[in-house]
Amino acid sequence: MPVVKVFGPLLLALIAALPIGAALWAVGAQMLHAAAWQALWADPQTWRAWGMTLWTGLASTALAWITVAHVLASGFIRQQLGRWLSHLPALLATPHAAMAIGLVLWLSPSGWALRLVSPGLTGFDAPPPWFTTQDPWGLGLILALWLKEVPFLLWVAATQMQREDLRRRWQAEYALAQTLGRTPAQAFAQIIWPQLAPRLRWPLLAVLAYGLTVVDMALIIGPASPPTLAVLAWQWLSDADLLTQSQGVAAAGWLTGTVLVAGVLMVVALRVVASKRPFASRGKRPQSQASDRDGLLSQKTPTWLLHFCRRLPPQPNAMWTIILTAYIAVWSALTVGSVSGVWPFPQVWPELWTLNAWQQVASSAHTVWTTLGLGVASASVCVLWSVAWLELTPRRWQQALQPWFLLPLVLPSVLWVVGLYSLALHTRLEGQWLGLSLAHAVMVLPYVLLALVPAYQAVDPRQAALVASLGHGRSVYMWRVKWPLLQRAIASAWAVGFAVSVAQYLPTLYVGAGRFATVTTEAVTLAAGAQRSLMSAYAALQMLLPIAAFALAAWLGRPRRFEKIAPMKATS
Amino acid sequence: MLLGAAALSPSIVHAATSWADTERAARGQTVYFNGWAGSERINAYLQWAAGELQRDFGVKLQHVKISDAADVVKRVRAEKQAGRQATEGTVDLIWINGENFAAMKRDALLSAPFAQTLPNFQWVDTAGKPTTLVDFSVPTDGLESPWGMAQLTFFADAKRLPQLPQSMAELLALARSQPGRITYPRPPNFHGTTFIKQALIEHAPDVKALAQPVTAAALEAQAAPLWRFLDALHLHLWRGGKQFPNNSAAVRQMMADGELLLALTFNPNEAANEIAAKRLSATVQSWQFAKGTIGNTHFVAIPYNAPSKAGAQVVANFLLSSAAQARKADIDVWGDPTVLDVARLPAADRARFQSAPHAGQVRQSAPALSEPHASWVDALEKEWTRRYGV
């Protein structure tokens, strides 16, 4: 019996850790070329590109963090969070590339924004020479990243706030703080946020890593002279010249180091910011310790958040409205773009309309099946593995190994592709369905785990005892009590995993040896020929599949308790 | 049936027994053809070819859609490094030319020479189109089989640009008079690099030196006037020459929107195609510089480890058939110029190549200038990046 108890978790750990470790090993081995590093340092673009990477990655992450705090605060206080967050799946399902394409359709000098006011207000009959997209300051890229990362962080925050145990406790504490004379804003900033923020550390790291290493968005809307380092790394990696390729591997390694250092600094910075105690220093420490289980009321509260909370506007949260409006604008631009033919500036509507692009999409319907198959397989494998892992292994193991499994989230995708591909070559799995779905699974796993862990932590162990005391076995507890309670979390983890699989481009191309066409590989290869209509149509298709998955998850996860996240006013 | 027989007649007459063996071996094979897939017309053409090949030869043609041939070169190289043997690869046929071919040839990533053994190769216009045998000044040595012709071509909306520049010097004058309305894709994008090479050819003191592998001395001597020209031009380009679009498609889109005056392409029929697809206005016209523009040939090649080598040869031979070449040259299908010597073809085959003129087509085709040796590409791109890329 003890043998089984150790052997099972060990086997599970090995199944997931081995591919990750082997991929890292394979890419690490390729990094040991001195000449590649010399070429990287000698390249005139490297340092400026790296500077651009740091600026766009850090700025977008900081903005997203502040925005999320703001939205959560005002949503929580107004008890509207559940309603607002019900839009999340559609926002989450919008692919990064689609967001960038849509923004360009609006913001470029020939974009919709200027067409609406030209030539009437501006006098322009040709697009002005403005740097509104691919701007040398990286502002467009920061905007696009911000718009994509805020929903992701909100979603992770929601997985925490929907935990039954946290939800009850936080509502009680929030109510209590108000009875102790705190305003709702103060109560949120002092009680809820300090407990929530540390739980978002990993997702925030993922956001930071993504911002520092993104390729597809940066290609579309990012600066071009020089581009960000991730784009350069990708261009070098796909060069025909061997030395340039190793230079790309070195650049990916450098990026990885950057992500790790920036991640550590960020965690430290969050601690430092959190350690400022505006209220405590003014001697306003609360008298009562009744609710102060973890010393909550003396907890650290960032000043800027208090500042935010105090100045909440009376109308619905402006920030959230801006984000939603941006998404709606992007979707409508993609829709019109997908049926546009000739469309010269400054006409507001296309001169010629055409369904060519959608006919093309329809003719490659088989790619939808490949995409579905890969997404279902990798998401299901990851959910099964995660459930087994969380059920069978001791908490200590889980905590120790979690960072390892989350690595695919924080390391640059260009790096993973090199590692996974090299691994697939050596195991002869390249170009095989099995190899490709495993590669997808490696990329999907961290997201599924992130979605499931909070739900598992929320399970009340007393339920098991209760079921046992009623004379039922463990299987009754699992099938009748625990899993039904986790049903919603499992379904939503599965949908997120599916969406992540759909979005994979580089692993699909390499590990699949190009033999598996998915909607994403189609979209990106067609983007190489960049027809506005076709790109828009594929971006829309890329979005529909994950939306379908989220809808399925929502249906499977009924009944939803989402509406109740917002706390009750202190009426009880 | 009769038409099919006529199309095949040359191959039947000249077929050696070895070719019959190849066809027999090819039957039932699947050929993974890795080819750029950024155009729905090209993809549709290959779908048609797949149908023909299945019906006539029992070969299954599978188009592996890629966005950059360099990816495939990299994959084959990685397979070789992983110790893959002669039939253990994932690529049977690759659409290739230029530096990618030079890299594969240099690193011995290609299978035995096959092009001249293809029965349909006899109709290739090797005299009139010398680039069918010499790819960016690198001899093909039969390692790749010609597929189509390309030539640097500009297109512009006549409503906005009535007077078409006929040389790089005239282009500079145009940029001076209308600043911010001209640009080219950022090298190492290959349209951007081609633009640079065209300017190099027009400015180099000794064009013959460009056919030799590049040296530091040659680069300095031949390219000095090029950099002077670009220094002058960039001041008047889109966004002050401080920024360049990522690819030719972005340039085309900006031209269509009216942000730029002209766009560039390697397919002389691209504008005609786009007009037919309603993505460009019918007033757009295409032209090549009067004294000629860079032209080259694109090829198909078989990697050393292709599992279906016989099938790949049958596909390459089919792609050279007059039926396949004529269909490819048809603007309503793809519009890619043929590598064959149409005048030498039997009358029935010749007739396939006649088609009505289309709006946006090049009216007066100019001579095709030879590409510099493949090694110049990397040297030019590096120097361009050093000077203008940061």
What tokens were used for A410?
A: 């924080």
Main-chain phi, psi angles of A32, to 5 degrees: -90, 35
Looking at residue A65, what is its pLDDT? Answer: 92
User: Which of A48, A217, A342 is best to mutate for the B interface (most B CBs within 10 A)?
Assistant: A342
Please answer yes or no on whether A528 and B78 come within 8 Å at the CB atom.
no
Number of H-type helices and E-type strands within chain A = 30, 0
Which residues of A fall within a CB distance of 8 Å from B386? 44
Q: Is A93 exposed, middle or buried (0-12, 13-18, 19+ CB in 10 A)?
A: buried
State the DSSP H helix or E strand holding residue A489, giving kind and residue range, or none if neither: helix A483-503
What tokens were used for B372?
A: 């510099």
User: Which of A43, A225, A432 is best to mutate for the B interface (most B CBs within 10 A)?
Assistant: A225
What tokens were used for A260?
A: 């790790």
* Closest partner CB to A136 (pick from B71, B82, B243): B243
State the DSSP H helix or E strand holding residue A221, giving kind and residue range, or none if neither: helix A216-221
* Closest partner CB to A224 (pick from B244, B254, B257): B244
Looking at residue B12, what is its pLDDT? Answer: 44
Alpha-carbon gap, residue B242 to B128, rounded angstroms: 40
Main-chain phi, psi angles of B340, to 5 degrees: -80, 160
Confidence of residue A312 (pLDDT cuts 50, 70, 90): low
Helix (H, G, I), strand (E, B) or coil at B300: strand
Please answer yes or no on whether A110 and B279 come within 8 Å at the CB atom.
no
Which residues of A fall within a CB distance of 8 Å from B71? 238, 509-510, 514
Alpha-carbon gap, residue A34 to A116, rounded angstroms: 54
The pLDDT > 90 percentage for chain A reads 19
Looking at mean pLDDT, say which of A424-438, A480-494, B166-180 comes out highest: B166-180
Nearest to A39 by CA among A241, A223, A218: A241
Lowest mean pLDDT among A337-341, A357-361, B253-257: A357-361
User: Apex CA B161: angle with CA B296 and CA A349, to 5°?
Assistant: 100
What tokens were used for A333?
A: 């631009």
Looking at residue A290, what is its pLDDT? Answer: 39
Main-chain phi, psi angles of A184, to 5 degrees: -55, -40
CB contact at 8 A, A368 and A546: no
Which residues of A fall within a CB distance of 8 Å from B38? 525-530
Alpha-carbon gap, residue A414 to A219, rounded angstroms: 14
Main-chain phi, psi angles of A165, to 5 degrees: -65, -45
Span A403-426, pLDDT tens digits: 888 888 877 877 788 888 888 888
Q: Say if strands B293-301 and B93-96 run parallel, antiparallel, or are unpaired.
A: antiparallel
User: Bridge-partner residues for B35, per DSSP?
Assistant: B65
Which residues of B fall within a CB distance of 8 Å from A510? 71, 75
Main-chain phi, psi angles of B250, to 5 degrees: -65, -40
CB contact at 8 A, A536 and A335: yes
Looking at residue B184, what is its pLDDT? Answer: 96
Q: Is the peptide bond before A286 cis (omega within 30 degrees of 0)?
A: no
CB contact at 8 A, A530 and B248: no
CB contact at 8 A, A112 and A331: no
For A519, the closest chain B residue by CA position comes to: B65
Alpha-carbon gap, residue A287 to A279, rounded angstroms: 13
Looking at residue B4, what is its pLDDT? Answer: 41
User: Apex CA B179: angle with CA B178 and CA B185, to 5°?
Assistant: 110
Please answer yes or no on whether B70 and A239 come within 8 Å at the CB atom.
yes
What tokens were used for A206?
A: 């993922």
Span A444-488, pLDDT tens digits: 999 899 888 888 888 888 888 888 888 888 888 888 888 888 888
Q: Which pTM does this prediction carry?
A: 0.79
Alpha-carbon gap, residue B151 to B153, rounded angstroms: 6
Looking at residue A569, what is its pLDDT? Answer: 43
Neighbours of A564 (CB within 10 A): 14
Looking at residue A534, what is its pLDDT? Answer: 80
Helix (H, G, I), strand (E, B) or coil at B94: strand
Confidence of residue A284 (pLDDT cuts 50, 70, 90): very low
Q: Which residues contact B114 (CB under 8 A, 6 or more apart)?
A: B142, B143, B145, B302, B313, B316
User: Which of A241, A370, A505 is best to mutate for the B interface (most B CBs within 10 A)?
Assistant: A241
CA distance A513 to chain B (A): 7
CA distance A344 to chain B (A): 4
For residue B7, is pLDDT > 60? no
Helix (H, G, I), strand (E, B) or coil at B167: coil
Alpha-carbon gap, residue B338 to B350, rounded angstroms: 12
* Closest partner CB to B38 (pick from A44, A351, A528): A528
Please answer yes or no on whether B79 and A421 come within 8 Å at the CB atom.
no
Q: How many CA atoms lie within 13 A of A25 on its CB side?
A: 9
Interface TM-score (ipTM) > 0.90: no
Alpha-carbon gap, residue B153 to A528, rounded angstroms: 19
Alpha-carbon gap, residue B210 to B222, rounded angstroms: 8
Looking at residue B6, what is its pLDDT? Answer: 41
* Closest partner CB to B66 (pick from A44, A129, A514): A514
Q: Say if strands B262-265 and B368-369 run parallel, antiparallel, or are unpaired.
A: unpaired
Confidence of residue A282 (pLDDT cuts 50, 70, 90): very low
Q: What separation in angstroms does the CA of B186 have from each of A237, B39, B189, B298? A: 17, 21, 6, 22
Which residues of A fall within a CB distance of 8 Å from B82? 422, 425-426
Q: With b meaning 16 or more CB within 10 Å and e meaning fewer, what string describes A456-478?
A: bebbeeeeeeebeeeeeeeeebe
Which residues of B fall within a CB distance of 8 Å from A46? none
Alpha-carbon gap, residue A278 to A189, rounded angstroms: 11
Looking at residue B350, what is its pLDDT? Answer: 92
Lowest mean pLDDT among A277-281, A334-338, B78-82, B97-101: A277-281
Task: Specify the amino acid at residue A455.
Answer: A
More confident call, B139 vs A527: B139
Please answer yes or no on whether B281 and A45 come within 8 Å at the CB atom.
no
User: Apex CA A37: angle with CA A411 and CA A422, to 5°?
Assistant: 50
Alpha-carbon gap, residue B193 to B170, rounded angstroms: 20
Lowest mean pLDDT among A542-551, B180-189, B198-207, B377-386: A542-551
The pLDDT > 70 percentage for chain B reads 96
Sign of CA dihedral B194, B197, B199, B202: negative
CA distance A15 to chain B (A): 24
What tokens were used for B115?
A: 């092009």
Looking at mean pLDDT, say which of A365-374, A525-534, B208-217 comes out highest: B208-217
User: Which of B41, B67, B178 is best to mutate for the A interface (most A CBs within 10 A)?
Assistant: B67
Alpha-carbon gap, residue A80 to A563, rounded angstroms: 8
CA distance A236 to chain B (A): 10
Which residues of A fall within a CB distance of 8 Å from B252? 530
Looking at residue A275, what is its pLDDT? Answer: 64
CA distance B67 to chain A (A): 5
Task: Specify the amino acid at residue B226.
Answer: L
DSSP A93: H
Please answer yes or no on whether B37 and A526 come within 8 Å at the CB atom.
yes
Looking at mean pLDDT, say which of A179-183, A418-422, A535-539, B317-321 comes out highest: B317-321
